[in-house]
Chains A and B, each alone.
Chain A
Amino acid sequence: MTILTRRDFVVASGAAGLALAAAAGGAAPRANAAVAGAYPQRNISFIIPYGPGGGFDNFARVVSPAIERHLPNPVNVIPRNVAGGGGGRGITQLFRARPDGYTIGILNIPGAFFLQERQGGRGFRVAEFTWLGTVSRGENYALAVGADSPLHSIADVQALSRQRPVKFTCTGPEGTAYSAAIISSELLGIDVQLITGYRSSSDYIVAAIRGDGDAVLATLSTLKPFMESGTVRILASFESESSVPGIPDATALGQPELSQIVVERMVAAPPGVPDDIKNILVHALEQAVRDPEVIAWAEDAGIDWHPDPPGSVDGIIRDQAAFFEKWKSRISQS
Chain B
Amino acid sequence: MLDLWLSGFLSLFQVQQLAFLALGMAVGLLFGAIPGLGGTTALALLVPMTYGLDSFSALALAGGVMGAVPMGGMITAILLNTPGTAPNAATCLDGYPLAQQGKAGLAIGAGASANALGGIIGTISVLAVLPIAREIVLLFGPPEFFLLVISGLIIVATTSQGKVLRGLLTGAFGLTLAFVGYSNVSGIERFTMGNFYLWDGIRLVPSLIGLFAIAEMINLSVKGGSIAGDAKNVKITNMSQGLLETFRHLGTVWRGSVIGTIVGAIPGIGGTVASFLSYSMTVQASKDPDSFGKGNIEGVIAPEAAINAKDGSMLIPTLAFGIPGSAEMAVFLGLLVLHGMQPGPLMLVEHQVEIYSLIWALTASCVMASFIGLALVRPLARVTLLDTRILVPVVVSIAMVGSYSVDQTIENVIVTSLFGMIGYFMIRYDYPRLPFVVALVLGEGTERYFHQSMLMSDGNWMIFFERRICLILIASTAFLVFLPSIRAVFRKLRGTSRTAPGGRS
Stretch at the interface among B238-246, B392-400, B426-434, B435-443: B392-400
* A206 located at the interface, meaning its Cβ lies under 8 Å from any Cβ of chain B in the complex: yes
Candidates A85, A120, A202, A213; contact of B199 at CB < 8 Å = A85
Q: Within 8 Å CB of B334, what residues of A?
A: 52-54, 57-58
With A53-B331, A84-B200, A122-B194 known to touch, is A174 a contact of B401 (CB < 8 Å)? no
Q: Within 8 Å CB of B337, what residues of A?
A: 55, 58, 301
Would you mind naming 21 contact pairs between A and B with Cβ atoms under 8 Å apart? A16-B396, A16-B397, A51-B407, A53-B331, A53-B334, A53-B335, A62-B338, A84-B200, A84-B409, A88-B199, A119-B199, A120-B194, A172-B185, A196-B451, A199-B268, A202-B322, A225-B346, A229-B345, A230-B345, A300-B339, A301-B337
Max chain B CB contacts within 10 Å: which of A81, A83, A229? A229
Q: Within 8 Å CB of A226, what residues of B?
A: 344-345
Count of interface residues, chain A, beta-carbon cutoff 8 Å: 73
* A209 located at the interface, meaning its Cβ lies under 8 Å from any Cβ of chain B in the complex: yes
B397 touches A20 (CB 8 A): yes
Stretch at the interface among B43-51, B292-300, B358-366: B43-51
Q: Tell me the complex Cα distance, A1–B268, Å.
A: 44
* A203 located at the interface, meaning its Cβ lies under 8 Å from any Cβ of chain B in the complex: yes
Q: Tell me the complex Cα distance, A81–B327, Å.
A: 14
Question: Which chain A residue has the least Cβ–Cβ distance from B48?
Answer: A61
Q: Within 8 Å CB of B324, what residues of A?
A: 53, 200
Q: Which of B347-399 contact A (CB under 8 A)?
A: 349, 388-390, 392-394, 396-398
Candidates B183, B349, B408, B452; contact of A229 at CB < 8 Å = B349
List the 8 closest pairs (A to B, CB-CB), nearest first.
A172-B184, A173-B187, A53-B334, A229-B345, A2-B224, A300-B340, A85-B196, A16-B393
B contact residues vs A (CB 8 Å cutoff): 34, 40, 43-44, 47-48, 51, 137-138, 141-142, 182-187, 194, 196-197, 199-200, 221-225, 267-268, 321-324, 327, 330-335, 337-340, 342-346, 349, 388-390, 392-394, 396-398, 401-402, 405, 407-409, 448, 451-452, 455-456
* A276 located at the interface, meaning its Cβ lies under 8 Å from any Cβ of chain B in the complex: no
Q: Within 8 Å CB of B389, what residues of A?
A: 4, 8, 11-12
B401 touches A167 (CB 8 A): no
* A319 located at the interface, meaning its Cβ lies under 8 Å from any Cβ of chain B in the complex: no
B321 touches A206 (CB 8 A): yes
Q: Tell me the complex Cα distance, A132–B225, Å.
A: 60
B344 touches A58 (CB 8 A): no
Candidates B224, B396, B452; contact of A1 at CB < 8 Å = B224
A174 touches B187 (CB 8 A): yes
Q: Within 8 Å CB of A108, what residues of B?
A: none
20 more A-B residue pairs beyond the given contacts A2-B388, A200-B322, A202-B323, with a C-beta to C-beta distance below 8 A? A1-B222, A12-B393, A23-B401, A53-B330, A53-B331, A57-B334, A58-B334, A84-B200, A84-B407, A86-B200, A88-B196, A118-B187, A167-B455, A199-B268, A203-B323, A212-B141, A225-B345, A229-B345, A301-B340, A302-B340
A123 touches B196 (CB 8 A): yes
* A13 located at the interface, meaning its Cβ lies under 8 Å from any Cβ of chain B in the complex: yes
Mask for A201-226, Cβ within 8 A of B = 1, else 0? 01100110111110000000000011
* A24 located at the interface, meaning its Cβ lies under 8 Å from any Cβ of chain B in the complex: yes
B184 touches A206 (CB 8 A): no
Mask for A98-136, Cβ within 8 A of B = 1, else 0? 000000000000000000001110110000000000000
Q: Within 8 Å CB of B339, what residues of A?
A: 300
B393 touches A54 (CB 8 A): no
Q: Tell me the complex Cα distance, A51–B327, Å.
A: 9
Q: Tell me the complex Cα distance, A202–B337, Å.
A: 14
Question: Which chain B residue has the least Cβ–Cβ distance from A221?
Answer: B342
* A195 located at the interface, meaning its Cβ lies under 8 Å from any Cβ of chain B in the complex: yes
Q: Within 8 Å CB of A213, what residues of B?
A: 456
